[in-house]
Amino acid sequence: MISKQKCTNCKHFSKHYEKTSNDRFVYTGGGSCKNYDVPWHESFANIIAETACNKWEQAETQTVDLNECIEDIIKTMKQRLDDIYALIRTDEQNPDE
């Protein structure tokens, strides 16, 4: 499938995320160009207009990034669960404290 060339599907585009109160990251809908050969004012105009400059290159599939993100989240969850388990075990061993 051929997609329309625009900044948001370019390999140089970096999405901006915001951290929520429950430690989740949500895409803000914005982003920036990481190709430093493109002047910032040109990349900004292209992002707003949903067009692309002559440095546009097809982004790799988002699935790889999503899988890495999910893997990192699972690792963080495991660490937090291990910490909770250690606290519970400590409380069970020292019930008088």
The pLDDT tens digits for 5-54 are 888 888 888 888 898 888 888 888 888 888 888 888 887 777 777 888 88
Tokens of 94: 């020292």
* pTM for the model: 0.52
The domain limits of the chain are 1-59, 60-97
Residue 74 has pLDDT above 70, yes or no: yes
Looking at beta carbons, which pairs linking 32-35 to residues 24 or more positions away fall under 8 Å?
33/7
Contacts of 34 (CB under 8 A, 6+ apart): 12, 13, 14
Q: Determine whether 43 is exposed, middle or buried from the number of CB atoms within 10 Å of its CB (0-12, 13-18, 19+).
A: buried
